[in-house]
Structure 1
Amino acid sequence: MPARDRLLALTVAALWGLNFPAIHLSLQQFPPFFLAALRFAVIAVPTVLLVRRPAVRWRWLLGYGAGFGILQFLFLYLAMSIGMPSGLASLVLQSSAPFTVVLAGTLLRERLTARQTVGVGLAVAGLAGIAVHRGELGGGAMLLPVLLTLCGGLGWALGNLSNRLAQTSEPFRLTLWMSVVPPLPLLAVSLVAEGPARITSSMTTLADRQGVLALGGLAFTVLAATLAGSGIWTALMSRHPSSGVAPFSMLVPVIGIGASRLLLGDPVYPVELVCGAVVVAGVLLGTGARPARRVRRDAAEEGASVPTMPIP
């Protein structure tokens, strides 16, 4: 991979890592379910008007949107709103990778290799260590956000399966159209769980400093992390083997934890850093790509695009 493309991959990792503090800022103003609906609505409206729908079955498009869009962000935003540190969220959300491997083996009958099994085991051990540490720090009050974030990772994994089954040659267009699915269901959940009064209050107090920061965080999430980040990532994946590009996504929790510490003052515990390193090692081991020639041959036989995009 040329130096220019390595720099682009690092830029995407930085955008996705910084996205977690940006989400934190937005959650200071907006209730979590409404924020999730707002995030996708901002993308969905121009997508419906300007972007041609990819040639995939509706079931896989809806499944992708339900798993990646609704379940992931419903649980992630709720977890962050009740105390999940943004840096730790960027790490625990990597649970989507081992979840995807296990679900693919269970539901799609894909064979798990010894390497994948060891990788999943390492990732699970690291995540369990983080959960135990959080429980020891603050009991259920600190453990619950971790469990909710794990549920978000499971939702992401379910979305990954639908993404894979869609077998599209237009991954960026599929990602845009996936955003059409979540807004209305998330808004319905917000109206029931958070209520019209709380939603209205969040929208009518945007002129103060907190409101401006929240809008800035939302703009960063939509424009930088989602549109720019996913666009660059798709281009890189189309030019290089996934084995050369995908490992850069493991820098996301590193940048997320560092940025959360510097920008938000989140505490960093050595035991969680060690467990985080175990998680990252497990993800890298368990999701190791096949040789490039085999990947291209299998993709040609299946009519599928190989890479998926880990957009937070």
Structure 2
Amino acid sequence: MKPLDIALAVTVAVIWGVGFVLTRIALDEMSSTLLTALRFAITALPCVVLPRPKMSWTLVFAISWLLVAQFMAQTYGIEHGVPAGLTAVIVQSQALFTVAFAALFLRELPTRIQVLGIGIASCGLLLICLTVGYDFSVVAFAVLMTAPVSFAVSNLLLRQARAVPMLDLFAWIGLIAMLPLLTALFVVDGPRVTWLALSQISLAVAGCVLALGLLGTTLGYWIWGRLLRNYTAAQVVPFALLVPFIGAGASALVFDEKFGTLRLAGMVVVIAGIGVMLLSRRPPVLVEVA
């Protein structure tokens, strides 16, 4: 890869990793539902000037609502006590779910090395499960675990959008996402609570929300899609391994998060398992899925 593109890939990893910290800060002043709605609303703004992506509406709706489920779940988890750094690691476990679902539904059987990686990462998730109940509830953890699952399914669907400009696609995905998000916002928070939160938002939190929408989603996915078009997925995807390290490190610096021995071991094992899957040599089709 060219040095500039390597720098761009690292930049995206930093943006996505720090995004977990920004989410935690924003949740001090608003609900997870409102934060997710604002994030997608900002992402949808470019659709005013960008053409509709030339792909099936069914596919666009499916990807959009899966991403809504992913971001709602990870934001809900952080809102209900799951540390931002731990959330970053759990969300990146999408890699093992992606490979597993590709084998289950697309009959793209993983190699032995990939199976080993899945097993290692699964052991790490099991270690993390053993720490549930001390500082966050089982419910919060269960909801959070749906985030990597939704992420993985959307990965498989996004494979069918290779020829579609990512900026156009995610702008329209953001617009379509507003339907379920506004409905959830009306039912869960209600107009009065929503207006109160918006009217009292601080400049710091407003900056966090803008960064999540403009940088984390619009810019981040645009760069990522561009890199995947110019290089093989095997060259690009491993940079995603930086996300949990950056997320956990930034969270520890900003919030002084401390992970117990068992939980820290689980986080390291999950990342190691993902590394084995993504960095090992395997059939190109599975590289593209992960």
TM-score (normalised: structure 1) = 0.85
Cα separation, partners in 2 of 1:168 and 1:269, compared to 1, 3 Å: farther
1:65-93 C-alpha deviation (Å, 9 max, x unpaired) = 1112x211221111111111111111111
For residues 145 and 153 of structure 1, what CA distance do their matches in structure 2 show? 14
Decide whether the 8 Å contact of 2:19 with 2:216 is kept in 1: yes
What is the aligned partner in structure 1 of residue 132 from structure 2? 134
Q: CA deviation at 1:120?
A: 1.5
For residues 9 and 46 of structure 1, what CA distance do their matches in structure 2 show? 23
Q: CA deviation at 1:288?
A: 4.7
SS in 1 for 2:108: coil
| 1:13 lines up with 2:13 in the alignment | yes
Among 187, 191, 195, the alignment partner of 2:186 is 191
For residues 94 and 163 of structure 2, what CA distance do their matches in structure 1 show? 21
Q: CA deviation at 1:33?
A: 0.9
Counting matched residue pairs gives: 290
Decide whether the 8 Å contact of 2:162 with 2:229 is kept in 1: no
For residues 103 and 175 of structure 2, what CA distance do their matches in structure 1 show? 29
For residues 86 and 181 of structure 1, what CA distance do their matches in structure 2 show? 27
What is the aligned partner in structure 1 of residue 153 from structure 2? 158
Decide whether the 8 Å contact of 1:60 with 1:166 is kept in 2: no
What is the aligned partner in structure 2 of residue 226 from structure 1? 217
Cα separation, partners in 2 of 1:290 and 1:169, compared to 1, 3 Å: farther
For residues 280 and 160 of structure 1, what CA distance do their matches in structure 2 show? 19
Matches within 5 A, 1:244-263: 244-263=235-254
Unaligned runs of 5+ in 1: 300-305
Q: CA deviation at 1:167?
A: 4.8
For residues 44 and 67 of structure 1, what CA distance do their matches in structure 2 show? 16
What is the aligned partner in structure 1 of residue 91 from structure 2? 93
Cα separation, partners in 2 of 1:87 and 1:282, compared to 1, 3 Å: same
SS in 2 for 1:112: coil
For residues 2 and 270 of structure 1, what CA distance do their matches in structure 2 show? 39
SS in 2 for 1:179: helix
1:179-214 C-alpha deviation (Å, 9 max, x unpaired) = 2221120111121122222111101112xxxx2221
What is the aligned partner in structure 1 of residue 59 from structure 2? 60
Query: What code does the residue aligned with 1:214 have?
Result: V
Decide whether the 8 Å contact of 2:18 with 2:250 is kept in 1: yes
Decide whether the 8 Å contact of 2:121 with 2:273 is kept in 1: yes
SS in 2 for 1:133: coil
Q: Which moved more, 1:270-279 or 1:118-127?
A: 270-279
What is the aligned partner in structure 1 of residue 163 from structure 2? 168
1:94-143 C-alpha deviation (Å, 9 max, x unpaired) = 121111222222222322322222221111111111111233x34xx433
SS in 2 for 1:152: helix
CA RMSD across the alignment? 2.3
Decide whether the 8 Å contact of 1:41 with 1:183 is kept in 2: yes
What is the aligned partner in structure 2 of residue 180 from structure 1? 175
